[in-house]
Structure 1
Amino acid sequence: MLKGNIATRFYQDPLTFLDQEFPATGDVVQTGQNEYCLGNPVDARAVLRNNEGRYLEHSDFFHTRHGLFGPRSAQLKIRRASRALLRNYLDTPGQGELPAFLKANLPLVSEWPDSGNRLVYRYLLPVLLAPDSPPKLRLLLERIVETAVLANAKSRQPRWRRMILQFKTTLLLSRAIEARQALARPSPIDLLDVVACSAEPGQKVDELAEVFLSFVFAIAGSVGFVLGWSIFLSGTHPDREAPPEWVVQEALRLWPVAWQLGRHPAKEHQVSGVNVSTADEVVVCPYLVHRNPEYWPEPAAYQPERWSNPEAWRNPAFIPFGYGPHRCVAADLSSQLVSEMLGIIARSNTLTVAARDTRPTVAAAMAPPPFQLTLHPRN
Structure 2
Amino acid sequence: MKGEVWPDFQRDPLGFLDRRLSDGDGIVQTGQNEYCLGDADHARSVLRNADGSYLEHSDFFHTRHGYFEPRSAQLKMRREARALLRAFLDARAPGALRDFIRDRLASTSQWPDAGNWLAYRYLSPVLLAPDRPQSLRRLFEQLVERSVLANARARQPRWRRMLLQFNTTLQLSRAIAARQREARTPPADILDIVAGAAEPGQRLDELAEVFLSFLFAIAGSVGFVLAWSVYLWGTHPRRDAPAEWIVQEALRLWPVAWQLGRRPVQAHEISGVRVDVSDEVVVCPYLVQRNQAHWSSPAEFRPERWADPQAWRNPAFIPFGHGPHRCVAAELATQLVADMLESIRGLGDATVAVRGDRPTIAAAMAPPPFTLTFRASG
Q: Shorter-chain TM-score: what band? A: over 0.9
Q: What's the CA shift for 1:96?
A: 8.7
Aligned partner of 2:166 in structure 1 is 167
Q: 1:22 touches 1:29 (CA, 8 Å); kept in 2?
A: no
Q: What's the CA shift for 1:312?
A: 1.8
Q: 1:137 to 1:93 in 2, by over 3 A?
A: closer
For residue 310 of structure 1, give the secondary structure of its aligned residue in structure 2: coil
For residue 349 of structure 1, give the secondary structure of its aligned residue in structure 2: coil
Give TM-score scaled by structure 2 length: 0.97
Deviations 1:245-264 (A, max 9, x none): 00000000000000000000
Aligned partner of 1:253 in structure 2 is 252
Distance 1:128 1:190 in 2: 5
Which amino acid letter does the alignment assign opposite residue 168 of structure 1? N
Aligned partner of 2:151 in structure 1 is 152
Q: 1:89 touches 1:95 (CA, 8 Å); kept in 2?
A: no
Written as runs of structure 1 = structure 2, the 5 A alignment for 1:168-187 is: 168-187=167-186
Give the fraction of aligned pairs with identical amino acids, expressed as a percent: 65
Q: 1:177 to 1:153 in 2, by over 3 A?
A: same
Are positions 1:209 and 2:205 aligned together? no
Q: What's the CA shift for 1:202?
A: 1.4
Q: 2:102 touches 2:347 (CA, 8 Å); kept in 1?
A: no
Deviations 1:62-116 (A, max 9, x none): 0001111110000000000000000000111429921111111000100000000
Q: 1:233 touches 1:251 (CA, 8 Å); kept in 2?
A: yes
Aligned partner of 1:81 in structure 2 is 80
Give TM-score scaled by structure 1 length: 0.97
Distance 2:93 2:240 in 1: 29
Distance 1:24 1:205 in 2: 48
- Is 340-349 or 106-115 further displaced after alignment? 340-349
Q: 1:90 touches 1:96 (CA, 8 Å); kept in 2?
A: no
Which amino acid letter does the alignment assign opposite residue 36 of structure 1? Y
Deviations 1:229-287 (A, max 9, x none): 00000000132420000000000000000000000001011111111100100000000
Are positions 1:142 and 2:164 aligned together? no
Written as runs of structure 1 = structure 2, the 5 A alignment for 1:328-343 is: 328-343=327-342
Distance 2:95 2:116 in 1: 17
Deviations 1:125-146 (A, max 9, x none): 0000011111111000000000
**Uncovered stretches (5+) of structure 1, i.e. residues with no partner:** none
Distance 1:261 1:10 in 2: 16
Aligned partner of 1:299 in structure 2 is 298
Which amino acid letter does the alignment assign opposite residue 55 of structure 1? Y
Q: 1:23 touches 1:292 (CA, 8 Å); kept in 2?
A: no
Written as runs of structure 1 = structure 2, the 5 A alignment for 1:1-379 is: 3=3, 5-24=4-23, 26-94=25-93, 97-376=96-375
Which amino acid letter does the alignment assign opposite residue 187 of structure 1? P
Q: 1:110 touches 1:373 (CA, 8 Å); kept in 2?
A: yes
Q: What's the CA shift for 1:117?
A: 0.1
Distance 1:377 1:278 in 2: 60
- Is 362-371 or 180-189 further displaced after alignment? 180-189
Q: 1:335 to 1:377 in 2, by over 3 A?
A: farther
For residue 296 of structure 2, give the secondary structure of its aligned residue in structure 1: coil
Distance 1:87 1:230 in 2: 22
Q: 2:2 touches 2:29 (CA, 8 Å); kept in 1?
A: no
Query: Aligned-residue CA RMSD in angstroms?
Result: 1.4
Q: 1:263 touches 1:282 (CA, 8 Å); kept in 2?
A: yes
Q: 1:289 touches 1:317 (CA, 8 Å); kept in 2?
A: yes
Distance 1:312 1:148 in 2: 34
